[in-house]
Amino acid sequence: MSDDDLVFKALADPTRRALLDRLFVRDGQTLTELEAELAMTRFGVMKHLRLLEDAGLVVTRRRGREKLHFLNPVPIRLIHDRWIDKYTEGHAAALLDLKAELERDEPEENR
Amino acid sequence: MSDDDLVFKALADPTRRALLDRLFVRDGQTLTELEAELAMTRFGVMKHLRLLEDAGLVVTRRRGREKLHFLNPVPIRLIHDRWIDKYTEGHAAALLDLKAELERDEPEENR
DNA sequence: TTGACATGTGACCATTCGGTCACCTATTCT
DNA sequence: AGAATAGGTGACCGAATGGTCACATGTCAA
């Protein structure tokens, strides 16, 4: 499985996005601390953190028996660079014009 | 289900990302044209296009019995703005420093 | 050194998801 | 009108995913 696939799959789950949000509010939290915030058992939180770590969205550091979790925004930046670069290199402007045109012609007919 | 959840779930599948890539190469393709490029039955492609359309990543326009599919980069831009804004507003620099520090201290110990 | 605490593993179950198919409707062309 | 073409629906199945638990390891502190 490719790296970006891991990142996209990790971001696909709302609980994992909530974990990233929690780490953004207060970075370096332990598993037990994150569990207390999320209405889920420790095991569920642990699985999610594992996927986030595999995707490189979370970096960890051990401190004794604790494991501290830190946000890593780099993969998100890389995704952005991939998609937005593709869509903007000579195409995004035309597409945005097209979208506006579609919405003007057929206001509510596109689902 | 929230809008951004639809977008993240739509982006989570490699076939759907490939569809976006195909539409980027040539925009406005029909279902049948996309099917021919993707080693999958028409029904599988149709399901994926449906999810992309529900997420707002693809916009469609009918022309007779054909349905033309167009890329819409706006949701991807919105995701970028959400995450990167959060991570950069006073935090990203510190996090990147931290990451560099972690990788210097413990080169291969974080999985 | 004993007990409490923080994290980890493997199995397990219910639900979701990817993909296919039989069958159907709508449009075009002759 | 009738045949061919483009797209759509609902059911179905195997695989992957989310979540929980019993149990185990490693660490701190009295």
Statement to judge: residues B66 and B101 lie in one domain: no
Q: What does DSSP assign to residue B27?
A: -
Q: Which residues have C-beta within 8 Å of that of residue A100, sequence separation ≥ 6? A: none
Q: Which pLDDT belongs to residue A82?
A: 67
Between vectors from CA B104 to CA B98 and to CA B108, what angle results, nearest 5°?
105
CATH, residue A52: 1.10.10.10
Q: Is residue A111 part of a domain?
A: no
> In whole angstroms, what is the distance from residue A9 CA to residue A17 CA?
11
Residue range B68-91: mean pLDDT, rounded: 69
Statement to judge: residues A79 and A68 lie in one domain: no
Query: Distance, in angstroms, between A81 CA and closest chain B CA?
Result: 9
Question: Which residues of chain B neighbour A60 with C-beta distances below 8 Å?
Answer: 110-111
Helix (H, G, I), strand (E, B) or coil at A35: helix
Enumerate the nucleotides of strand D whose atoms come under 7 Å of any protein CB: 5-10, 17-22, 26-28
Q: Is residue B110 part of a domain?
A: no
pLDDT tens digits, one per residue of B1-37: 578 899 999 999 999 999 998 998 888 999 999 999 9
Q: Which residues have C-beta within 8 Å of that of residue B76, sequence separation ≥ 6? A: A83, A84, A87, B7, B11, B57
Packing angle between helix B3-11 and helix A3-11, nearest 10 degrees?
Answer: 160
Statement to judge: residues A30 and A51 lie in one domain: yes
Helix (H, G, I), strand (E, B) or coil at B41: coil
Instruction: Give the domain range for residue A8.
Output: 3-72
The answer to whether B66 CB is within 7 Å of strand D is: yes
Q: Which pLDDT belongs to residue B60?
A: 96
A73: nearest CA in chain B? Answer: B87
Q: Is residue A56 part of a domain?
A: yes
Statement to judge: residues B7 and B47 lie in one domain: yes
> In whole angstroms, what is the distance from residue B9 CA to residue A14 CA?
10
Statement to judge: residues B64 and B96 lie in one domain: no
Q: Buried b / exposed e across B86-102, counting CB within 10 Å, b at 16+?
A: bbeeeebeebbebbeeb
Statement to judge: residues A59 and A101 lie in one domain: no
In chain A, which residues have pLDDT < 50?
A: 86-87, 89-111
pLDDT tens digits, one per residue of B42-72: 999 999 999 999 999 999 999 999 999 998 8
Q: How far is CA B14 from CA A7, B11, B18, B20, B30, in A?
A: 12, 8, 6, 10, 20
Statement to judge: residues A59 and A85 lie in one domain: no
**Contact flag B77-A84 (C-beta cutoff 8 Å):** yes
Of residues B74, B88, B111, nearest to A53 (C-beta): B111
Helix (H, G, I), strand (E, B) or coil at A29: strand
